Amino acid sequence: MAPTRRRRPTGRRPRTRRVPAIDRHGPVRSCVGCRRRRPWSELLRVTCDEVDGRRVVAVGGPSRGRGAWLCAGSARDGARRAAPGCLDAALARGRFERAWRTALDDDDRGAIRAALGGDEHTDRSRRR
């Protein structure tokens, strides 16, 4: 059996996972729908809080409760709306339940859709 040769170090550093080219100087969050990382200024924060025994869904701004982040869609009227694909994916895969650590029923999902301007989009899980 021949002796094994030991490789000499080349002086190169090991490869590390590169972070996407985004603004690394500000806070970065992940969209619960598409799981893409973006600066927080490009996302919408959706919160769920219990007030007087009922759930209240709030979009944007400082609000109490657990938060979930969604990609902001383009609205011509200046309203804060979520990207339709991200909203559909988050609702279909149960990402709001996981982020908020609570169970949601159909009324809660409808309130989320109404708050995020997704009334015209249908949920993929309900299509036949």
Per-residue pLDDT of the chain (128 residues; tens, 9 = 90+): 666 777 766 766 666 656 555 556 788 999 999 999 999 888 999 998 888 877 888 887 778 878 999 998 876 655 678 888 999 999 999 999 999 998 988 988 998 888 887 654 444 444 43
For the beta carbon of residue 111, count every other beta carbon within 10 angstroms.
Answer: 16
**8 CB-contact burial (10 Å; exposed 0-12 / middle 13-18 / buried 19+):** exposed
Q: Where are the domains of the chain?
A: 28-119
Look at residues 85, 84, 50 and name the one whose alpha carbon lies nearest to residue 65. 50
CATH of domain 28-119: 3.30.1230.10
Which H/E stretch holds residue 43? strand 43-51
